[in-house]
Structure 1
Amino acid sequence: MAHDTLAGVFSPVLTPFDKNLAIDANLFVKFCSWILTQGAGLAVFGTNSEANSLTVGEKLELLARLIEAELPPDKMMPGTGACALPDAVALCQAAAKAKTAAVLMLPPFYYKSVSEDGLFAFYAEAIQRVGDQALKVCLYHIPQVSGVPIPLTLIERLVKAYPSTVVGIKDSGGDFVYSKALLEALPSFRTFCGSEKFLLETMRHGGAGCISAMANIHPGAIVNLYETRTTPEADAKQQALNQMRKAYESVAMIPALKRTVAEYGKAPAFKTMRPPLTELADEDWDGLKTNLNDLSLKMPNLDKILA
């Protein structure tokens, strides 16, 4: 997928584990297939994928399994950010070889208050070591989690140095002021909001789409808003999406999303979390389930595809 067509809705796909905390790769591939049937792409190894609880080897194996299953690489945006430069390079190389739409790349996140020059050097070194024109990088701005913001000045430097490689960003900062500054300063840059609650506003300012945790449970509804964003019904659809997200704001997001998939998809393995994350408590699920019933959540054919 050329960067000028890199757009739409992507899901940071949840990762199922078995009782021994090993990845259930077959179930993972099936779940990715379901998300694709709903019109969304696959931002595998994202925050809600528990990416930083996965080894580089596990990520490489899962990406290979997706390709072997003939899922379309132009619908994939695997996370390749890492604290260790060689790890980031290995993941980016695999994604470029597979010709994925792009990669989603966190900054190195252990050291805090690093200089802009240091961050630039990390991204530049990774791009140069990969040395593949097929590599398309979407930066990942989530400073409340990573502790390392990606300032506009750094983005401008990277775009100037690598205009055909550094092509977009996922903005999960939660502050639309930052997104708007990006959209105004770099109108051809592919800016994705990190929550569907900003989808309509992002698109109205020239954005590329949305990469959202909620695309694990109702990707079709988010895709529908993306596709009908210029219609009179768009604002009402945005409000409906906001209500669904609100249902998850009082519980731990990743365990709640995984429990939802486990229950609606009849796939208990999805409940399992790798420590230090823990499963959603039954009482929290009971309250969430009531809200989801009130909101008429539908996950069409999920149980059939995961069977």
Structure 2
Amino acid sequence: MLANAIYGGVNAAVLTAMNADLSIDLDRMAAHCKWLLANGCNGLGVLGTTGEANSLGIQERIEVLEGLVARGVPAAKMLPGTGTTAITDTVLLTKHAEKLGCPGALLLPPFYYKNPSDDGLLAYFNEVIQRVGGSIKIYLYNFPQQSAVPFSVGFLERLLKANPGKVKGIKDSSGSYENGLSYVEAFARDGFEVYAGDDSLLKPLLEKGSAGCITAASNVNCAVGAQVYANWQNATGAAAQEVLTATRKAVTSVPLISGLKALVARNTGDARWLAIRPPHLPLTAVQTAALFSVFDASGIKLPKAA
């Protein structure tokens, strides 16, 4: 396990609460963030894939960050997603995250144009980093199934060399143990923070020197993830990892964001959590029943929301 990581431990890719008219419900989102921090999360990956960030406008994203801080969610615990396809928007959001007190920002690649060269990617990130300036740390978001733009070890070597001390880590949502391990083996010795995007890889990668995880399922399984993180070297951690892996399998058995919102709605007793922006749709009754059945079979017991 990597020591002294800024976001070391369990981080939730936080759901964005919405109203029936699909506007953002900041009060409910802030309450969920506080529940996460009270029940095993070390940090909050707001405005990521699970948070429907790419269904939100730039101004809405700013309002989320400002609204959470105003409602008592510590900026120091937030790792906001600020990567967009436009250099100017990415810079604007990243600078705003630093202004509010976020130690780092998580950046997708410029994902609209496919198959960019490493030279092109390097030029994009160098330009963003130079324009952002400041002291905020940059984390990359490797999610090739969604972005179609993977980050190779060779590219990361070039980026780190060009921006010493600025690029601090990566969230790897490739789902590949081998890929996450390649980042750990290449860079963790220098304090580079590698975060698993798949709960099933938390303990295996901690054993090799990763910093923890940033996962969608942490919206509901963070207490178990915390047990794994605290006990990764012993049998308690191994047993907790089995439950963690089972919960991951359960939530990915249905459309992920819709399923997580259904689970949070059940745990809070608040059906408003089911609201989701198209093209995503709420689960059907059949899907919901199937999810609840397989999720409960994992043996997890969710701490009740306040």
Q: TM-score range by the shorter chain?
A: over 0.9
- Hey, what does 2:133 align to over in structure 1? 131
What's the Cα RMSD here?
A: 1.5
Matched, 1:182 2:183: yes
Counterpart position of 2:10: 9
Conserved in 1, the CA contact under 8 Å of 2:46 and 2:80? Answer: yes
Give distance in 2, aligned partners of 1:235 and 1:3.
Answer: 23
Runs of 4+ in 1 over 3 A off after TM superposition: 2-6
Q: Report the TM-score, using the length of structure 1 for normalisation.
A: 0.94
Q: Is the 8 A contact 1:81 1:106 kept in 2?
A: yes
Residue 224 (structure 1) aligned with residue 227 (structure 2)? yes
Once the 2 structures are TM-superposed, how far is the Cα of residue 3 of structure 1 from its aligned partner? 7.4
Q: Give the aligned residue type for 1:293.
A: D
Distance apart, 1:22 and its partner CA: 0.6
Q: Is the 8 A contact 1:12 1:48 kept in 2?
A: yes
Asked if the contact 1:16–1:272 (Cα under 8 Å) also holds between the matched residues in 2, the reply is yes
**TM-score in terms of structure 2 length:** 0.95
Structure 2 vs 1, CA of residues 99 and 161 (structure 1 numbering), >3 Å: closer, same or farther? farther
SS in 1 for 2:217: helix
**Matches for 1:106-121 after TM superposition, within 5 Å:** 106-121=108-123
Gaps of 5+ in 2: none
Distance (Å, rounded) in 2 between the aligned partners of 1:156 and 1:186: 8
Q: Equivalences for 1:14-33 in 2 at 5 Å?
A: 14-33=15-34
Match of 2:65 in 1: 63
Is the contact made by 1:14 and 1:48 (CA closer than 8 Å) also made in structure 2? yes
Residues 60-102 of structure 1: CA distance to partner in whole angstroms, max 9, x if unpaired? Answer: 1110112212322221100011011111011100111123131
Name the residue aligned to 1:162.
163
1:123-172 Cα distance to aligned partner (Å, 9 max, x none) = 11111111112x10110000011011111111111111212210100001
Aligned-partner Cα distance in 1 for 2:115–2:193: 26
Letter of the structure 2 residue corresponding to residue 151 of structure 1: S
Cα distance in 2 for residues equivalent to 1:4 and 1:293: 33
* 2: CA distance, partners of 1:3 / 1:61: 31
Match status 1:254 vs 2:254: no
Percent of matched pairs sharing the same residue:
38
Counterpart of 1:36 in structure 2 is 37
Does residue 207 of the first structure (1) align with residue 210 of the second (2)? yes
Alpha-carbon deviations, 1:22-43, whole Å to 9, x = none?
Answer: 1111111111111111131110
Q: Secondary structure at the match of 1:107?
A: coil
Distance of 1:146 and 1:3 partners within structure 2: 30
Summarize the alignment of residues 235-250 of structure 1 with structure 2, pairs less than 5 Å apart: 235-250=238-253
1:73 to 72, 75, 91: 75
Which residue pairs with 2:293 in the alignment?
A: 290
Contact 1:3–1:167 under 8 Å retained in 2? no
